[in-house]
Amino acid sequence: MKKKWSEKCPVCNGELVSSKTTVDFYDGKVILRDVEVQYCPKCKQELFTPEQMKKVDKLMEGIHLQQVSLRRHLSESGRSLVLRIPADIARTLHLTKATEVELRVKDPKEFVVEVVA
């Protein structure tokens, strides 16, 4: 359900409504889902609310482009392979050893790791 904002769109002066979107950073390497935005149905602009921008800034704090693009070798544990997540990325994304993640194969050379809410 969309809630109307009292503000007007700075681009076309249309009425803004509250909506949720998916935002990706670093060419899709960092994806944020269900991000609250102010959306203008008239010109299709999506604007971050000030509160949401603070949340996004805090989440992205500590992640730098070169850190997102790190290469890592896989390790072995028994018959399984292990991929280690650098501590600064884990800290920024609030990951712990108890965090549940879902792995999905995207194509033969890519898989997605998604934190389960």
Q: Which tokens belong to 55?
A: 């949340």
Tokens 């500590």 appear where? 62
What is the pLDDT of the chain when averaged over all its residues? Answer: 83
Domains of the chain, first to last = 4-61 (3.10.20.860), 70-115 (2.10.260.10)
Say how far apart CA 74 and CA 82 lie, in whole Å: 6
Cα dihedral 89/99/78/69 (nearest 10)? -20
pLDDT by residue (tens digit) across 15-28? 999 889 888 877 77
Q: What's the confidence (pLDDT) of residue 63?
A: 61
Distance CA 31, CA 93 (A): 11
Those residues with Cβ within 8 angstroms of residue 30's Cβ, 6 or more apart along the chain or in another chain: 24, 60, 63, 68
